[in-house]
Structure 1
Amino acid sequence: MVNENPDNLSLVVKDKIYLSDESGIIAEVKSGNVLNFSLSDENIKLVIAGRSFVSNIFFIESATDNKILQVDEKKYRGKLKVFNLNNGIKIVNELKIEDYVKGVMTREMPVGKGSDNYNALKAFSICIRTYAFNRMAQKRDSFDLFPDTRDQVYGGVISETDYTNQIVDETAGQILSFDDKPAQIFYHSTCGGYTEDVQNVFNSGPIPYLISISDGNDPYCKISPRYEWSEKYPEALFINRLFAAGLLDNSDYSIKNISVESRFESGRVNELKINLINTVGQMKNISLFSNNIRSVIKTADGNSILRSTMFNISLDSKKNVLIGGKGFGHGVGMCQWGAIGQSKQGISYKEILNHYYPGTKIILIND
């Protein structure tokens, strides 16, 4: 899925294309033309240079030798499918899984310079492919994957590099498996020294290969720019975060105490307890748990969720809330910067995968 839910849509053709419906090719469209889509009852109406077409589905594919489709400022492999679903125009990029992996690589992982990240990228290409293979098996309605953080960030051809494409080609068809089934894949930027058990973060039971492990005595991910971080919240701002999350009926409270009540073995916060008092002396106790802490507290600037739950927290003399933490992300599965750290030390991609997904093995699939 590369676009969803508008009731009208215009695409500028940047190179010659074939336009098809379910009956076959209905037009060859030259560069510079505009495809104007709009809803028409349960179908879609398409207008090109004064010509109109109506169908429940249209296909757009390249008519050039390189088979790269160019519309607007984007480039895609495969073809685009345009259709009406639930009274909204949807556009899906249909392509081979290997081409999808190529479009994700640089959007989800630092490429680095030279060959330092080579084995990390090789391991990561297998993670991307395994994740996509699992989603394809789930048979979502009319598409397999979102192109953003709801699944994996996909940028099409414009995000590819020759270097990362070569790496994808080298691992073509390889996925991770456990007990002869495709492995469930999670990954994150920086674990901060320890990864996390999947059941402590997501609505899941234990999974044997998604467990808390050390990232080394001198953590491999220590090279991450997000390995250590800090946040400072004026008391009023912190209370407003609790109010915005629906945990307080108003913001007329002050903080009496804030403490970590329990941690997981990894060091991440399991329960954060906040004691408050309002203007008439009534006490209020709030507990936040696990990954929910990140979405409630957010960063001080409010631009994103808190980097991780691996942190210490305190009140200073002016009642500012101070947080000092490590890591970035939920902590489950492969630590990307840890993988990069291992790659820089010459550790193979298979060893990297075995470190973060112990007990899994690599198998081959057909595209």
Structure 2
Amino acid sequence: MFLFKSKSYQKFQIFQIAFYFLIILFIASCAPSKRFTGYKDRSLKDYKNEVRVLLADSISEVKTETDVYLISEDEKVALIKAANKFRITPVYESLLIQLGSKNFNSKVFYLESVNDPIIFINNKKYRGRIKFINIGGQVKVINQIGLEDYLKGVMTKEMPVGNGNENFEALKAFAIAARTYALNKIYSSQTYFDLLPDVRDQVYGGVESEHALSNKAVDETRGMILTYKNAPAIVFYHSTCGGYTESAVNVFTKDDPEYLRSVKDGDIAYCSISPNFNWRETLTEKEFIKRLADAKLTTNNDYSIEKFIIKSRFPSGRINELEIYLKNKNDIKPVSIFGNQIRSIIKNQSGNGILRSNNFIIEITSDRNIVITGKGSGHGVGLCQWGAIAQSKSGKNHKEILLHYFPGTEIKQLND
């Protein structure tokens, strides 16, 4: 561990005053451009080539596996050698780092690799740099990384690479979709990070999830995004549509953009190659009723199931309203659940995850089991990943794949 000499306090005060003054000027002149009121207001040139990924909500100890610089706001304060550990503690609105016998205090700290573009901390590798900040008395860990490098850490977590080049055009299509998704998150971010590293946004695994072929797909589509009327398109994707994608207005949005309406996934569904194209779940009656009670749809478990009625389906085949008639010794009670919430209420057989889709038939057997026979996996909106893979295998290119799932859109280059 090597410590750098600090600047003089007087010099630091002058710099700090000047720095805050510049920040005030910057906010006054630039803040309105970051408050986007709608997609039509967004210029393809008006973006920053950096993504902030929240890696951890709270951390207290950090181990570096490579040599890194510790940076306090604008100044390198220490060189931390590989295999060293340090503690980091929130103190009021600042952070305290205890590194051996030395203590450092700052509102924000960064780690940057000394000799390598990859930083290796807590047994994980990341590109870019690591930021620590105190938010609400917890040490938040953020990976600040270039947009293209971020995508390389997403690709294999969201799409299978396949054998040889069979999935390559699908990977390119997905790279464009994922880049567009990330860009929209950057545009709309109003907090200290842009993206979460899990299914709430896009699953991000850092360097160790990279693959040569998926990296190539990112490189060959560098800067390409999906647009509609010269602005970034709203992008969704899912595993397996089951024959038809779903209109976004039925799941996510109040608007009904033409490029997010239901489309047929080929005369013979492209995604029929998916292991989740057809599926079945079986639950006991008792477990099914418990899940309704957990969702506050009934106040107790003292019921049996009289019958199921599918009141309506969307044109895609997915259920819009499922009505369940519950019976006890006193009365029969109807309970309704709607759309995509059906998946999170009923859940899968184990109860550890949501139901694969809401495109299914449901029945109760003579031995009082609930059998759900369904098609597809995911919400069904936008890009069908297994459908994209099948199209790639059949010889279609990434442009054809994207225009199939997002009709009316265009692929454009950032900064054009």
The TM-score, its normalising length taken from structure 1, stands at 0.97
Question: Counterpart of 1:2?
Answer: 54
Quote how far apart the aligned CAs of 1:100 are.
Answer: 0.6
- 3-state SS of the aligned residue for 2:217? helix
Amino acid at match of 1:3: L
Question: Counterpart of 1:51?
Answer: 102
- 3-state SS of the aligned residue for 1:44? strand
Amino acid at match of 1:350: K
- In the alignment, does 2:340 pair up with 1:291? yes
Quote how far apart the aligned CAs of 1:5 are.
Answer: 3.5
For 1:96 and 1:137, locate their aligned partners in 2 and report how far apart those are by CA, in whole Å.
15
Q: Is the 8 A contact 1:195 1:266 kept in 2?
A: yes
Quote how far apart the aligned CAs of 1:202 are.
Answer: 1.4
- 3-state SS of the aligned residue for 1:113? coil
For 1:77 and 1:123, locate their aligned partners in 2 and report how far apart those are by CA, in whole Å.
23
Task: Decide which of 324, 332, 351 is 1:274's aligned counterpart.
Answer: 324
- In the alignment, does 2:286 pair up with 1:221? no
The TM-score, its normalising length taken from structure 2, stands at 0.86
- In the alignment, does 2:86 pair up with 1:35? yes
Q: Is the 8 A contact 1:209 1:360 kept in 2?
A: yes
- In the alignment, does 2:238 pair up with 1:185? no
Question: Counterpart of 1:304?
Answer: 353
For 1:203 and 1:175, locate their aligned partners in 2 and report how far apart those are by CA, in whole Å.
21
Task: Decide which of 383, 387, 390 is 1:334's aligned counterpart.
Answer: 383
Quote how far apart the aligned CAs of 1:40 are.
Answer: 1.2
For 1:203 and 1:183, locate their aligned partners in 2 and report how far apart those are by CA, in whole Å.
13
Q: Is the 8 A contact 2:57 2:141 kept in 1?
A: no
For 1:209 and 1:103, locate their aligned partners in 2 and report how far apart those are by CA, in whole Å.
27
For 1:21 and 1:95, locate their aligned partners in 2 and report how far apart those are by CA, in whole Å.
18
Task: Decide which of 39, 55, 79 is 2:129's aligned counterpart.
Answer: 79
CA deviation profile, 1:110-149 (whole Å, cap 9, x unmatched): 1111111010000000011000010111133111111111
Question: 4+ residue stretches of structure 1 with deviation over 4 A?
Answer: none
- 3-state SS of the aligned residue for 2:157? helix
Amino acid at match of 2:349: A
For 1:349 and 1:323, locate their aligned partners in 2 and report how far apart those are by CA, in whole Å.
35
For 1:179 and 1:10, locate their aligned partners in 2 and report how far apart those are by CA, in whole Å.
48
- 3-state SS of the aligned residue for 1:248? coil
For 2:104 and 2:285, locate their aligned partners in 1 and report how far apart those are by CA, in whole Å.
60
Corresponding residue pairs, total: 364
Quote how far apart the aligned CAs of 1:366 are.
Answer: 4.4
Q: Is the 8 A contact 1:190 1:335 kept in 2?
A: yes
Report the structure number with the largest CA radius of gyration.
2
For 1:320 and 1:355, locate their aligned partners in 2 and report how far apart those are by CA, in whole Å.
40
Task: Decide which of 4, 18, 42 is 2:69's aligned counterpart.
Answer: 18
Task: Decide which of 167, 184, 189 is 1:117's aligned counterpart.
Answer: 167
Amino acid at match of 2:276: R
Q: Is the 8 A contact 1:188 1:334 kept in 2?
A: yes
Q: Is the 8 A contact 1:195 1:335 kept in 2?
A: yes
For 1:140 and 1:153, locate their aligned partners in 2 and report how far apart those are by CA, in whole Å.
21
Amino acid at match of 1:38: T
CA deviation profile, 1:94-113 (whole Å, cap 9, x unmatched): 11100011110001111111
Question: Counterpart of 2:306?
Answer: 256
For 1:167 and 1:300, locate their aligned partners in 2 and report how far apart those are by CA, in whole Å.
36
CA deviation profile, 1:330-360 (whole Å, cap 9, x unmatched): 0000000000000000001000000000000
- 3-state SS of the aligned residue for 1:255? strand
Sequence identity percentage:
48
RMSD: 1.2
Task: Decide which of 282, 292, 297 is 1:242's aligned counterpart.
Answer: 292
For 2:74 and 2:249, locate their aligned partners in 1 and report how far apart those are by CA, in whole Å.
49
Quote how far apart the aligned CAs of 1:203 are.
Answer: 3.8
- 3-state SS of the aligned residue for 1:209? helix
Q: Is the 8 A contact 1:259 1:314 kept in 2?
A: no
Consecutive unaligned residues in structure 2, runs of 5 or more? 1-52
For 1:168 and 1:317, locate their aligned partners in 2 and report how far apart those are by CA, in whole Å.
53
- 3-state SS of the aligned residue for 1:2? strand
Q: Is the 8 A contact 1:82 1:92 kept in 2?
A: yes
Instruction: Tell me which protein shows more helix as a share of its residues.
Output: 2
Give matches, 1:60-79, under 5 Å.
60-64=111-115, 66-79=116-129
Consecutive unaligned residues in structure 1, runs of 5 or more? none
Judge which range, 30-39 or 201-210, deviates more: 201-210
- In the alignment, does 2:404 pair up with 1:352? no
